[in-house]
Structure 1
Amino acid sequence: MRDAAASGADALPEAAPGRAATEAALLLLRPALRADGLSLGLAYADDPSARPGGPGERASAAAMPPPRRRDFLAGRCAARRALAEAGHPAAEILRSGRRPLFPGGFAGSISHSGGLAVALAARVPALGCDLELRGLPLESAHIVLGPDERGPVDHAPDRVAAEYRLLCTFSAKEAAYKAFGALLGERAPATLLALATRPVPGGFRAWPRSLPGHVIDVRVRPAGPGVFSWAVAPVV
């Protein structure tokens, strides 16, 4: 599926079938994202447009090993496309630590998996997104889920269902973690286990265990072989 105009940039390079299916699934989410006021951008790690947008990005990329550099530049390319769709073209997107610094008045989030980067941008206080195209083994559940969150995974009908439920929760927590990081600063959860979740229709409700009054809804949707999640502040 090709939608260059909607992505705010040149067409993405031709993808392998699995990547094309993921891209199509993400583009089909655009109406739901727009309903939340969000703009979407996509870029592949081998996209010719995934180049530094300025000296700051160039300096950051130069210090990274090649795989990380490709993901970083694809993420910045996707973020520029999201901002362009929102009507705010940006030359380069700098960073504070690992967090991208979006232009004033905009919040944004970047995620990448399997050579595909996805970014969201919006005029909201904070947001987070997460793309997960690889499964998560059940043996890692203890680093994602607290004892109060294990029920849906432990009671799944089979291992495949259990791993998918774990992947959904992991992705939802990653999206919420990013949103709370931008929203709460030093008070934000430091680990995924410091976030609590419970399933709700269409995704999860998440909150910091130390600040239970701060609650955010996370939407989770299938994306090719994996899932895509997003969370938008303000909290509910």
Structure 2
Amino acid sequence: MTPPTPTQTRRGVLPHTFPDPLHAVLLATLRDLGRSLPPGVTLTGTLRPHDPHDPHPPVWDSVGTRLPPLPRTPLHLIPAHAPPRRHAEYRAGRTCAAQALALAGHTGPVPLLPGPHRAPVWPAGFNGSVTHAAGLVLAVAGPQGYQLGIDTEALTPDLHASGLTARDLLTHVLRECAFKATFPARGQPYHPPDFQPAPDSRPGQLAHVHLTGSAPLPVHWTRHGAHVSALTCQPL
């Protein structure tokens, strides 16, 4: 039997609250991935807030500094019937993205409305990526001249019991990261066999994802607690 994907399983099993150690995971993840940021590209993160209607969840940058709230918050367009957790994830992700854009130099409105494929529509001249899993929320933003992708997943007990291994999770995260980075240019639906991560990479080291018909994409990744996170910032 094929194990479910991390996304399929986590939506049904995650609790609504998380222990304080998750904040340490967030800061360590930001620190590790932040080392790979080129000039002009910014990384932010937060935890999924307990209050799904909190307009200003606290956000930290890649060196662990808590950022002041923005004067304008992104529009919150999500069906009212969606569960509170989904509202909290959406709001936290858009808030992180807006903070990353501000750090990258964007000064205009930040609606970040979903596009045809549900990903945020970034302001002219900018690009970015957002991810969330098991309470952790991350966003990267920068000039449009970069392919930017970020992804995080957590090896929860339910996933482990389903037969998913740490290596399976890493492969999934590297593929998702590469897909998000290359989708604006490729415009093709996600097809996992098109993204082949190179094996035997250690946390904190540079991995490469081989794309069908393209040069290998460098991806930095890290693991803290149950979370595996990856980031790519590749010039076009």
Could you state the TM-score of these two structures normalised by the residue count of structure 1? 0.70
Partner of 1:127: 148
Aligned length: 194
Which secondary structure does the structure 2 equivalent of 1:131 belong to? Answer: strand
CA distance in 2 between partners of 1:196 and 1:189 (Å):
16
CA distance in 2 between partners of 1:224 and 1:36 (Å):
29
Whether the aligned pair in 2 keeps the contact of 1:41 and 1:80 (CA below 8 Å) is no
Whether the aligned pair in 2 keeps the contact of 1:176 and 1:206 (CA below 8 Å) is yes
CA distance in 2 between partners of 1:22 and 1:226 (Å):
8
Q: Give CA-to-partner distance per residue, 1:125-147, whole Å, 9 cap, x none.
A: 32110011234549666xxxxxx
Whether the aligned pair in 2 keeps the contact of 1:189 and 1:195 (CA below 8 Å) is no
CA distance in 1 between partners of 2:120 and 2:168 (Å):
27
Match of 1:28 among 20, 26, 31: 31
Whether the aligned pair in 1 keeps the contact of 2:33 and 2:231 (CA below 8 Å) is no
CA distance in 1 between partners of 2:98 and 2:30 (Å):
16
Q: Give CA-to-partner distance per residue, 1:23-64, whole Å, 9 cap, x none.
A: 22123236414346421121222173159935xx33335463
Which secondary structure does the structure 2 equivalent of 1:60 belong to? Answer: coil
Q: CA deviation at 1:104?
A: 1.2
Which secondary structure does the structure 1 equivalent of 2:122 belong to? Answer: coil
Q: CA deviation at 1:81?
A: 1.3
CA distance in 1 between partners of 2:170 and 2:39 (Å):
20
- How do 1:96-111 residues align onto structure 2 when only pairs under 5 Å count? 96=115, 97-111=117-131
Percentage of matched positions with identical amino acids: 27
Match of 1:74 among 76, 79, 92: 92
Partner of 2:112: 93
List gaps (5 residues or longer) in structure 2: 1-17, 58-68
RMSD: 2.8
Match of 1:180 among 174, 179, 182: 182
Q: CA deviation at 1:74?
A: 0.8
Partner of 2:194: 194
Give the direction of change, closer, same or farther, for the CA distance of 1:170–1:83 in structure 2 (3 Å limit): same
CA distance in 2 between partners of 1:69 and 1:199 (Å):
36
Which secondary structure does the structure 2 equivalent of 1:183 belong to? Answer: helix
Give the direction of change, closer, same or farther, for the CA distance of 1:200–1:26 in structure 2 (3 Å limit): same
Give the direction of change, closer, same or farther, for the CA distance of 1:87–1:71 in structure 2 (3 Å limit): same
Q: CA deviation at 1:111?
A: 0.3
Higher RCO, Cα 8 Å, sep 6+: 2
Which secondary structure does the structure 1 equivalent of 2:124 belong to? Answer: coil
Q: Which moved more, 1:199-208 or 1:38-47?
A: 199-208
Q: Does 1:233 align with 2:230?
A: no
Which secondary structure does the structure 1 equivalent of 2:78 belong to? Answer: helix
Which secondary structure does the structure 1 equivalent of 2:23 belong to? Answer: helix
Q: Which structure has greater helix proportion? A: 1
Which secondary structure does the structure 2 equivalent of 1:58 belong to? Answer: coil
CA distance in 1 between partners of 2:222 and 2:155 (Å):
15
Which secondary structure does the structure 2 equivalent of 1:196 belong to? Answer: strand
Which secondary structure does the structure 2 equivalent of 1:87 belong to? Answer: coil
List gaps (5 residues or longer) in structure 1: 1-14, 142-162
Whether the aligned pair in 1 keeps the contact of 2:28 and 2:224 (CA below 8 Å) is yes
Q: CA deviation at 1:172?
A: 0.8
Which secondary structure does the structure 1 equivalent of 2:112 belong to? Answer: coil
Could you state the TM-score of these two structures normalised by the residue count of structure 2? 0.70
Whether the aligned pair in 2 keeps the contact of 1:125 and 1:183 (CA below 8 Å) is no
CA distance in 2 between partners of 1:131 and 1:102 (Å):
20
